[in-house]
Amino acid sequence: MSTYRAFEATGVHNLQLVERELTDPAPGQVRLRVEACGICHTDVLAIEGLRADPSQPVIPGHEIVGVIDAVGAGVTTWQVGDRVGVGFLNGHCWECDPCRRGDFVNCLNQEQTGTTIDGGYAEVAYARASGLVRIPDGISAIDAAPLLCAGLTTFIALQQGPARAGALVAVQGIGGLGHLALQYARTLGYRVAAIARGPEKEAYARELGADVYIDSTSTDPGAELAALGGASLIIATASSGASMNPLVRGLAPNGKLVVVGAAPDPLTVATPDLIFGTRSVMGSLTGTPIENEDNLAFSLAHDIRPRVEVMDFAQAAEAYERMLSGQARFRVVLDVKAA
């Protein structure tokens, strides 16, 4: 096969099926045949033109699972036939100051899969060997794909503060990120509070691991958490800064609000809410490839799985629209292998 099919994003909200020439992987890279690719809200960066040069075509998608079919020069730890994943970060450089200090997530020379470099809405993808995640036996490509981004993001966020077993941990938002955060928090032994809009989401929240449900449309979630003794951690996954504003008051002393939901509006915090109680607010991006392997192993061992809607590769545009609508329960995944 000398070509492969891919969906290119150019301009604003323009996703087109094209034929790409198959090329050899560059030195330090591998080429893989894509089996599945999750649809993430961050895909708007590519598809809605929210990048440096939207006129340049890019293939979206950064929850990629596939099988290596070619390795570039200098790649010694991966081989043809290996089952691998690629997340949002496409591989660190090993050479910049953060890399030299072991902070690979904040590598200064790291491409963002599906945004600054081609991603997985395609039959073939390319990635730096340093960005690869080994996919364990026992988990399907469809299930593994969302765990590479939505799963890893919340798995790492839950490790951002010292929270003892049995402590109250809250998850704000029950969507693609939040529905996995609830499962992780439950399995890690926390008392779990779910915060979402509307009473109709309570059944989902409790099924996924919540001990307590807080409807933010009928009560102040910060006050509710404070009445429960305060949360050691709050994982904020909703794409709304305004919805996060009341949460700081619901933190226990030394508690942390960990923001993983990217929002267009600012988060506003009253300084006394931080000072009295020694509380903090922080962001958390994702994790390293080896942490992603830990995440997959943990998910496999404890039967943590994403709730997915599977769509054919040819329906990539429709799958993206389904994600944007907010109606998906809870993650949309492209089945590329069956194409």
Query: Each residue of 220-249: pLDDT tens digit?
Result: 999 999 999 999 999 999 989 999 999 999
Output the pLDDT for position 101: 98
Domain for residue 252, yes or no?
yes
- Whether residue 103 is found in the same domain as residue 183: no
- Whether residue 141 is found in the same domain as residue 170: no
- Whether residue 291 is found in the same domain as residue 190: no
Domain of 127 in residue numbering reads as: 3-149+287-335
Domain for residue 66, yes or no?
yes
Domain for residue 155, yes or no?
no
- Whether residue 236 is found in the same domain as residue 255: yes
CATH number of the domain enclosing 169:
3.40.50.720
Domain for residue 154, yes or no?
no
Q: Is the pTM of this model over 0.85?
A: yes
What's the domain count of the chain? Answer: 2
pLDDT-derived band at 339, boundaries 50, 70, 90: confident
- Whether residue 188 is found in the same domain as residue 108: no
- Whether residue 125 is found in the same domain as residue 247: no
- Whether residue 274 is found in the same domain as residue 193: yes
Output the pLDDT for position 275: 97
Output the pLDDT for position 266: 94
Domain for residue 156, yes or no?
no
- Whether residue 201 is found in the same domain as residue 298: no
Percent over 70 (pLDDT), the chain: 100
- Whether residue 53 is found in the same domain as residue 179: no
Per-chain mean pLDDT for the chain: 97
Domain for residue 123, yes or no?
yes
Domain for residue 16, yes or no?
yes
- Whether residue 129 is found in the same domain as residue 100: yes
- Partners of residue 196 on adjacent β-strands: 215
- Whether residue 7 is found in the same domain as residue 144: yes
CATH number of the domain enclosing 105:
3.90.180.10
- Whether residue 85 is found in the same domain as residue 26: yes
Output the pLDDT for position 58: 98
Residue 196 in this model has a pLDDT that exceeds 80: yes
Residue 206 in this model has a pLDDT that exceeds 90: yes
